[in-house]
Copies of this chain bind each other. A is one copy, B any other.
Amino acid sequence: MNDPSDRAVESQAAHASHHKILEVAEMLFARRGFSGVGVREVAETAGLSKSSLFHHFRNKVELYEAVLARVLARIEDRLSPTLSDDERCRERLDRWIDALIDALAEHPTTARLLLRALFEDDDRPSEPSAAGKDLQATLGRIIEGLTGILAAGVEQGVFRAVSSAHTVQTVIGATVYHFASGDFGAELCGGSLVARDAVRQRKREVKALFHHGLAAVPAGAGAGGAT
């Protein structure tokens, strides 16, 4: 009973509702955004009453931030193993993209949640809560990883002299936006975006585009600029 692992199991069991709530809230917030979801709906979908939920999370924004923190942590766990320096930049970029797309495809709500959070972030400029700071820090680390890969590639001359920041933006657009585009993207691409084949094709298309798009040109060999 005083074994630490018992404590962990106990605590896990005690927080079973906790996890259920987070799961449900993640789905709902991704679908309808922060203000589009009521805590009552979250609670009852998770199988509790509203008041019980307020026992687990002090208020709605705390719940929201907990959801975001879990999602960002999941992504960081996927991404950090790809940051080992002992590889060439092109391969590191490929692995980073693969890992991010895997993370986004595995939990289909993630992409939308992230973009929504990005949008709703600078609505409330006043609230630098501790959890909020933590979220920003995690996000910063994730972005730093990609920026590092790109900057190194440029410095080593294996990538063109692109702006790392702008390329980061484009990578995010190519990955997060794609998996957040929902019905629109599904209709455009002709089927579910998270089906196994669709995910594999997305990886191929994105990696190929950046492969060709970032590759340093051998000098004097512009891509078709033969005017």
Contacts and interface: CB of A to CB of B under 8 A. Distances in A.
10 contacts: A33-B119, A118-B182, A162-B208, A169-B174, A169-B185, A170-B205, A170-B206, A172-B177, A208-B213, A215-B223
Nearest to A190: B165
Interface residues of A, number: 61
Interface stretch (A62-70, A98-106, A120-128): A120-128
Contact of A188 (B168, B174, B180): B168
Contacts of A95: none
B31 A33 contact: no
Interface in A177-220: 177-178, 180-185, 188-190, 201-202, 205-206, 208-217
Give the residue among A173, A178, A210 with the most B Cβ atoms within 10 A: A173
B209 A163 contact: no
A149 to B, nearest CB: 15
> What DSSP secondary structure best describes chain A's contact surface?
helix
A48 interface: no
A34 interface: yes
A4 B172 CA distance: 51
Given A33-B33, A188-B169, A119 B116 contact: yes
A55 interface: no
A184 B121 contact: yes
A60 interface: no
A34 B221 CA distance: 49
Give the residue among A167, A169, A172, A181 with the most B Cβ atoms within 10 A: A169
A214 to B, nearest CB: 7
A39 interface: no
Contact of A31 (B31, B34, B123, B210): B123
A158 interface: yes
Contacts of A50: none
A107 to B, nearest CB: 16
